[in-house]
A and B are shown apart, each in its own frame.
Chain A
Amino acid sequence: MAAVCPVGFDIHKLKDEVRRTYASVATDPSREFHFHRGPEYAARQLGYDFDELSRLPRLVTEPFAGVGNPFKMGRLSPGASVVDIGSGGGMDCLIAGSDVGPTGRVIGIDMTDEMLARARSGAAQMGMNHVRFEKADMETLPLEDKSVDVVISNGVINLAPDKPAVFAEIYRVLRPGGRLQFADIIIGRELSEDARNNIDLWAG
C-alpha cells in the first residue's frame, strides 16, 4: 500500500468518497461493488467460523467487507481492552466482544454514520454493553495514551490518506507490550503514477 497520498491529491475528496462508498454498503450490502461482502464470503475465503457468524445479527454480518481475518492470529483474552479501527457494521467487534466478555471492553471506530447505526443496533441485539462505537477518523482516535491491549482492523488502513499517521496513532493508544493484529491489502508490484492518482482505486 502507498504510504501517503500523492502531492496535490484532494484528501477531503478521498475521505468523502470512502464515506460515500461505505454508506452505500451499509444501506444496501447486496448491491454490486468491486469487493466481496457478507458472512458467506468471510467463511469461504477468509476462514471465519460460519457457525460463529450465524449467531450474530445479519445486520452486522451483511455489510462485512474485510480482506483478511485478524482472529486467525489469535483470539482475544477475557478482560482485554480492544479497539477496532474502521469497525464498519461491527462484525469483528462483536466477535471480539464475545472473546473478551463483560469484564473486557471493545471500542469500534468508524467515520460512516450508516455503518455505526448498524453496529450499535447489533451490539444492542446481542446485549453486549461492553462493546461501544465511536465516530472518528483513524488518524485521531478518541482514546487515552497506552489505554488499549489489542488493536484490530480489517481492510481499512489502506483507505487512509496518511498511513504513517494511522500507525503512529495506534502506537500511541496501545499499552507497552500491546498487540496490533490487522488484515489489509498488500500490493506485490509498484503502482503506476496513473493508478496512484486514481481516486476510485483509493476509495474502494
Chain B
Amino acid sequence: MITEAGFREVALRDSFDSFLGTNKESTARKFGVMGANVVAYK
C-alpha cells in the first residue's frame, strides 16, 4: 500500500504492545494487533 503510493525504502522499525492492559487486550492478542513504527522516503 505504501510502496504503491510511490514511497521507497519502506521499513518497519519498532513494535509496541499498545493494547496491553486495555479492555481489548485479548482481542488484540487474538488478531495479532500491535503498534508499529514505519519509515518511508519519497
Residues of B within 8 A of A7 (CB): none
The reply to whether A181 and B39 contact each other, CB–CB distance below 8 Å, is yes
Tally the A-B contacts, defined by beta carbons under 8 Å.
120
User: Among the interface residues B7, B13, B15, B18, which one has the most CB atoms of the partner chain A within 10 A?
Assistant: B18
0/1 string, B17-36, CB within 8 A of A gives 1:
11111111000001111111
Do the beta carbons of A35 and B37 come within 8 Å of each other? no
Query: Is A164 within 8 A of B33, CB to CB?
Result: no
Within 8 A of B (CB), among A27-46: 32-36, 45-46
The winner among B6, B34, B37 for most chain A CB atoms within 10 A is B37
Contact of A188 among B2, B24, B33, B38 (CB under 8 A): B33
Q: How many residues in A have their beta carbons less than 8 Å from beta carbons of B?
A: 43
- Stretch of A14-22, A67-75, A135-143 at the chain-chain interface: A67-75
Does A126 have its Cβ within 8 Å of any Cβ on chain B?
no
Q: What separation, in Å, do the CA atoms of A185 and B36 have in the docked complex? A: 6
Q: Are A73 and B31 in contact (CB under 8 A)?
A: no
Q: Nearest-CB distance from A119 to chain B (Å)?
A: 21
Are A46 and B35 within 8 A (Cβ)?
A: yes
Q: Is the CB of A183 within 8 A of B37?
A: yes
Interface residue tally for chain B (C-beta within 8 Å): 32
Chain A residues touching B, majority SS? mixed
Distance of A112 from chain B, by nearest CB (Å): 20
Establish whether residues B2 and A67, one from each chain, have CB atoms under 8 Å apart when the complex forms.
no
**30 A-B contacts, Cβ less than 8 Å apart?**
A3-B1, A34-B24, A36-B18, A36-B21, A68-B37, A69-B14, A70-B37, A73-B14, A73-B37, A74-B39, A164-B1, A167-B1, A167-B5, A168-B6, A170-B5, A174-B42, A175-B42, A180-B7, A183-B37, A183-B38, A184-B36, A184-B38, A185-B18, A186-B12, A186-B33, A187-B32, A187-B33, A188-B31, A188-B32, A191-B31
